[in-house]
Amino acid sequence: MKFNFRRFLAVFKARNIEFFRDKGALGWVFVFPMLVTFGFSYLFNLGDSGIYKAATIGDSLAPKSELIQWITYSDIEEAKNKLRHHQVDLLVDFTSKPLTYYMNSTSPNSRIAEKVFLESRSPISISGITKIAIDGREIKYIDWLFPGLLTMNVLWMALWGVGWVVVRHRKLGVLKRFKASPLTPLEYLLAQVCSRLFLLVSSGVMIFIGGHLIHPFVTEGSYLTLLLIYTLGCLSLSSIGLVVAARLTSEEFANGILNLITYPMMFLSEIWFSLEGSSETTQLLAKFMPLWHMTSSFRRVMSEGATVSDIAPSLYILLGITVVFTLLGAAMFKWNKD
């Protein structure tokens, strides 16, 4: 039977009504990410610890100081980026001759860290030092965290909003009733995915605006690129939900499977903390997660101003996951237990 847009639209509308009348789900989707953003914004603005972070290339000569915490980097460009975004207060390249240090002229903390560093060295050694000032806007932890909170919300909403809902419809007998009608599996499944996409995009935009009002985020890149990443991320995660829901009839079992997928994905996708410094295997594993591609692309666009071509590999991966899992889900789908 041919794809019929009217049938698709009927189920799409029904699913939207179902969601918007479920006050609990509605509140969770909109309020939870805002509360987390607000909470973190508050916590991370409580005040400085009084210890300055300095990046170092070659740390053997780094002077000991109670006021400076040294973090070693192998890539100077990466370290400069951190300094540019105020993620470290100072960068010292001990491998260069003459010894060179970089400070961020727009950061008060960087000026203080510079003074602390210079005073920790003898007057003789100070004379042979080169200073390079760079500038750049501050990116706080909350700026880094926010894209993760947004994508984590998508993870839960897409997987449960599609996977769990389809299983519940099957268990209740809704799918059995639909099966006795001309509705096709593809029409039903696409309606579920598109309804979820509609809700996720609208809630995502509202959360983004709300989050920006609570804490004005730095967004260097294009909002359209962000929307593209967000949409592909939603579709790829929803399509994984389709495969989970293709045949299951038990909500409890579906919960278990969905948890098995979400928790590792959440921890490996740098939602709360960076995987810098973790093992190569862990970092490689992360690259298999659609959520990692979504989150890291989002961060790159927001903080570095990355363009579509910069993040193209991640976009292709998200698109590939969407196509493969949607087709797999449709092929495996059963309306009811035969």
Partner 1 sequence: MTDIILEIKDLFKSFKDIHAVNGASFKVTKGTCFGLLGPNGAGKSTTIEMVEKITSPDSGVILYKGEKLEKDYLNNLGVQFQQTALPPMLTVKESIEVFRNLYPNPKSLEELITLCQLGSFVNQRHDKISGGQRQRLLLALALCHNPELILLDEPTTGLDPQARRHLWDIVRDIKSSGKSVILTTHYMEEAFELCDEIAIMDKGKIIAKGTPKELLSIHFKNSIIQIPPGKTYDEIKSRSDLGEIHIKDHLLEIHTENLNDTLKFLTTLGLDLTGLNIRHSNLEDLFIHLTGKELRS
Residues that bind partner 1 in the complex, under the rule CB under 8 A: 1, 6-7, 9-11, 13-15, 17-18, 21-22, 169, 172-174, 176-183, 335-336, 338
Minimum separation from the CB atom of position 77 to partner 1 (A): 53
CB of 177 to partner 1, least distance (A): 5
Long-range contacts of 244-247 (CB under 8 A, 24+ apart): 244/159, 244/163, 244/167, 245/162, 245/163, 245/164, 245/165, 245/166, 245/167, 245/170, 245/329, 246/328, 246/329, 246/332, 246/333, 246/334, 247/332, 247/333, 247/334
Q: What DSSP element (H or E) covers 91?
A: strand 90-93
The minimum distance between CB 283 and partner 1, in angstroms, equals 42
Residue written as token pair 């961020």 = 104
Residue whose CB is less far from partner 1, 289 or 330? 330
> For partner 1, which is the closer residue by CB, 173 or 320?
173
Nearer to partner 1, 181 or 282 (CB): 181
Q: Which residue, 121 or 334, is less far from partner 1 as judged by CB?
A: 334
Q: Please, which residue, 8 or 292, has the CB nearer to partner 1?
A: 8
CB of 257 to partner 1, least distance (A): 22
Instruction: Decide whether 176 or 212 has the Cβ nearer to partner 1.
Output: 176
- 208/218 Cα distance (integer angstroms): 12
Hey, what amino acid is at 243? V
How many degrees, rounded to 5, is the angle at CA 294 between CA 292 and CA 295? Answer: 65
Residue placing its CB nearer to partner 1 in the complex, 13 or 287: 13
CB 86 within 8 A of CB 109: yes
- How many other C-beta atoms can be found within 10 angstroms of the C-beta atom of residue 176? 13
Among candidate residues 257, 264, 260, 265, the one with its CA nearest the CA of residue 237: 265
**Dihedral angle, C-alpha 54, 58, 64, 69, nearest 10 °:** 30
Task: Name the minimum Å distance from CB 238 to partner 1.
Answer: 18
End-to-end distance of the chain based on CA atoms, in angstroms? 21
Rounded distance, CA 195 to CA 92, Å? 52
- Per-residue CA distances from 259 to 148, 253, 256, 262, 322 (Å): 18, 10, 5, 5, 20
Cβ 336 to partner 1 shortest distance, Å: 7
Rounded Cα distance, 219 and 150, in Å: 14
